[in-house]
Structure formats: C-alpha cells, structure tokens
Amino acid sequence: EIVLTQSPDFQSVTPKEKVTITCRASQSIGSSLHWYQQKPDQSPKLLIKYASQSFSGVPSRFSGSGSGTDFTLTINSLEAEDAATYYCHQSSSLPYTFGQGTKLEIK
C-alpha cells in the first residue's frame, strides 16, 4: 500500500498569504496524484487532478505541481473562504489511498 504523508498537519495563515502544502508518496506514483478541499461539514471537492491539472470551476489561485514521490499544492493570495482541510489522493496503485490531511486556519 502506498502511504501519502502531508505536511504540515496544520497551518494558521493570513489572507493574501501564499500557502504551500506538500504530499510525499512512499513510492513513485508518476502523476497519479489528486488534491481535494474539504470545508467543515461538507464533502470533499476536487481541486487538482493528475498533479497539476486544475479541475473545472476551481479558482486560478489553486495550483499543483510535482511528479514521482513529491507533490505540492499552492494557494496564491489566500482568501478567507479557503479555510478547509486539504487531502492528497493517489490512484497509481490499489488500494487508492489518501494523505492524512492538512488543516488551514485563517487568522
């Protein structure tokens, strides 16, 4: 099973700040890495697919990069509505697995 480790677990940030969340895979997964946003009491929503492809309707301040074992989700000019927990997910091999999540708090 591929283990995904996100860092940090928690981050408190101010609006307009740039945020970087990383996801490291226990073995190479190519670009089969996707990012989701989960706001409190809501279901997850897809932000980025295949490491760097923005999903339809997602604000342009969200971007992804990386391949192999190291991946990054970047949020440029953070907005208050971005307060959420962010998860990475690998679909390179079964079973599909998720990172433990990174919770963003807006100061």
- Check binding of 62 to another protein (CB under 8 A): no
Binding of another protein by 91 (CB under 8 A):
yes
Measured distance CA(63)–CA(59) in Å, rounded: 9
A 10 A CB-CB count for 10 gives: 10
* Contact in structure between 74 and 22 (CB atoms under 8 Å): no
For residues 14 and 43, which CB has a smaller minimum distance to another protein in the complex?
43
Token pair for residue 27?
Answer: 């073995």
Amino acid of residue 88: C
> Binding-site residue total for another protein (CB under 8 A)?
22
* Dihedral sign (CA 39, 65, 55, 23): negative
Q: Which stretch binds another protein (CB under 8 A): 11-19, 32-40, 64-72, 76-84?
A: 32-40
Q: Which of 49, 64, 66, 82 binds another protein (CB under 8 A)?
A: 49
In the complex, the residues that contact another protein under the rule CB under 8 A are: 32, 34, 36, 42-46, 49-50, 55, 87, 89, 91, 94-101
